[in-house]
A and B are shown apart, each in its own frame.
Chain A
Amino acid sequence: MNAESSVRGEVHELSYAESIRDAMDIALGSDERVVLMGEDIGVYGGAFQVTGSLVHKYGEDRVMDTPISELGGAGVAVGAALTGLRPIFEFQFSDFSTLAMEQIVNQAAKLRYMLGGAVSVPLVMRLPSGSGTGAAAQHSQSLEAWYGHVPGLKVAQPSTPRDAKGLLLAALEDPDPVLIFEHKLLYKMKGPVPSGYYTTPIGKAAVRREGTDLTIAANSIMALKAEEAAKTLADEGIDAEVIDLRTVRPIDRETVLASVRKTGRLLCVYEGVKTLGVGAEVSAMVAESDAFDFLDGPIVRLGGAECPIPYNPKLEEAVVPQVPAIIRAARDLANGAI
Chain B
Amino acid sequence: MPDTPPGNTPYAVRAYRPEALREALRKMLLIRKFEEGAEECYMRGLIHGTMHLSIGQEASAVGACMSLGDDDKITSTHRGHGHCLAKGAGVDKMFAEFFGKETGYCRGRGGSMHIADVAKGNLGANGIVGGGLPIAVGSALSAKRLGTGAVTVCFFGDGANNEGAFHEALNMASIWKLPVIFVCENNRYGMSVPTERSTAVKNIADRAIAYAMPGVTLDGNDFSAVAEAVDGAVARARAGDGPSLIENVTYRTRGHSRSDRNRYRSRQEIALWTERDPIPRMAKMLVSHGVMTEDDVEKMEAAAADEIASGIEAARSAPEPGVEDATRDVYTVHSEAME
Contacts and interface: CB of A to CB of B under 8 A. Distances in A.
A135 B49 contact: yes
B128 A138 contact: yes
A294 interface: no
Interface stretch (A37-45, A104-112, A201-209): A37-45
Given A44-B192, A311-B100, A68 B326 contact: no
A65 interface: yes
Contact of A305 (B197, B321, B326): B326
B164 A69 contact: yes
Contacts of A312: 100-101, 108-109, 111, 320-321
B199 A136 contact: no
A136 B198 contact: no
B129 A68 contact: yes
Nearest to B259: A47
Contacts of A45: 263
Interface string B39-57: 0000000001110000000
B38 to A, nearest CB: 14
B266 to A, nearest CB: 12
B108 A67 contact: no
A307 interface: yes
Interface size class of A (residues with CB under 8 A): 35 or more
Interface stretch (A160-168, A219-227, A258-266, A313-321): A313-321
Contacts, number: 132
A99 B163 contact: yes
A158 to B, nearest CB: 22
A96 interface: yes
A314 B261 CA distance: 29
Interface string A43-85: 1110100000000000000000101111110000000000000
A72 B261 CA distance: 28
A133 interface: yes
B119 interface: no
20 contacts: A44-B191, A47-B191, A68-B159, A68-B163, A69-B163, A69-B164, A95-B128, A96-B128, A99-B128, A133-B49, A135-B49, A136-B110, A136-B111, A137-B110, A139-B127, A306-B327, A310-B109, A310-B321, A311-B49, A319-B326
What are the 6 closest A-B residue pairs judged by CB atoms, nearest first? A134-B49, A138-B127, A311-B111, A312-B100, A44-B192, A134-B48
